Amino acid sequence: MWVENGIGVAQAAFETDAVREMVKNYQAEAVDTSGVELPDYDHLTKPLVEVFTLDSAQCAACSYMMGAAYQAVETFGDTIDMVEYKFIYKENVARCIKMGVPNLPSLYINGQLKFRSIIPTKAELEAAIREAMEACGK
């Protein structure tokens, strides 16, 4: 896949007019979100931290957001749940659409957007998680 992407970028850069002609009538297929099941956020027993990234292994900003989330896991341990949804997977694209994720990276706690393209400080994220813990009755 990566080789094909490189070839596509080179072709677009060196044969711009031909590529524009090739894609002028392109219509992206609709993403089916019907198979996406969201957690029951109102009945969670502990905070759920969801990190939406392009791919934390490839994107610097995404890796910083995941770093913040991993620090929170170190601090709170198993009193919170954390998951990363990488946009490189079709099912996660559908999840982003269903959740209305506005930008990547974004961090949600209990289904609520808390940090949008801004990496939280350790103190900011911990405060947001503590607030969610209170809402969960912890």
Q: Is residue 20 part of a domain?
A: no
Distance from C-alpha of 119 to C-alpha of 105, rounded to nearest angstrom: 8
Tens digits of residue pLDDT in 60-110: 999 999 999 999 999 999 999 999 999 999 999 999 999 999 999 999 999
Q: What is the 3-state secondary structure (H, E, C) of 12-55?
A: HHHCHHHHHHHHCCCCCCCCCCCCCCCCCHHHCCCCEEEEEECC
Q: Is the dihedral of CA 59, 62, 68, 69 positive or negative?
A: negative
**Cβ 72 vs Cβ 125: under 8 Å:** yes
In terms of residues, how long is the chain? 138
Q: Could you tell me the pTM of the whole model?
A: 0.83
User: Binning pLDDT at 50, 70 and 90, where does residue 51 land?
Assistant: very high
Amino acid identity of 16? T
Q: Is residue 88 part of a domain?
A: yes
**Cβ 83 vs Cβ 51: under 8 Å:** yes
Sequence-distant (≥ 6) Cβ neighbours of residue 106 within 8 angstroms? 51, 52, 65, 113, 115, 116, 117
Q: Is residue 30 part of a domain?
A: no
Question: What percent of the chain has pLDDT above 90?
Answer: 73
* Residue found by looking up tokens 């019907």 in the block: 34
User: Binning pLDDT at 50, 70 and 90, where does residue 25 land?
Assistant: confident
40-49 mean pLDDT: 95
Q: Where residue 65 sits, what CATH number does that domain have?
A: 3.40.30.10
pLDDT attached to residue 22? 84
Q: Is residue 31 part of a domain?
A: no
Q: Which of 26-40, 42-56, 79-93, 112-126 has the lowest mean pLDDT?
A: 26-40
The domain of 83 spans 41-135
Q: Is residue 96 part of a domain?
A: yes
Give which of 104, 60, 53 is closest to 82, Cα–Cα.
53
Q: Is residue 4 part of a domain?
A: no
Q: Is residue 10 part of a domain?
A: no
Q: Is residue 7 part of a domain?
A: no
Amino acid identity of 22? M
The total of structural domains in the chain comes to 1
pLDDT attached to residue 26? 85
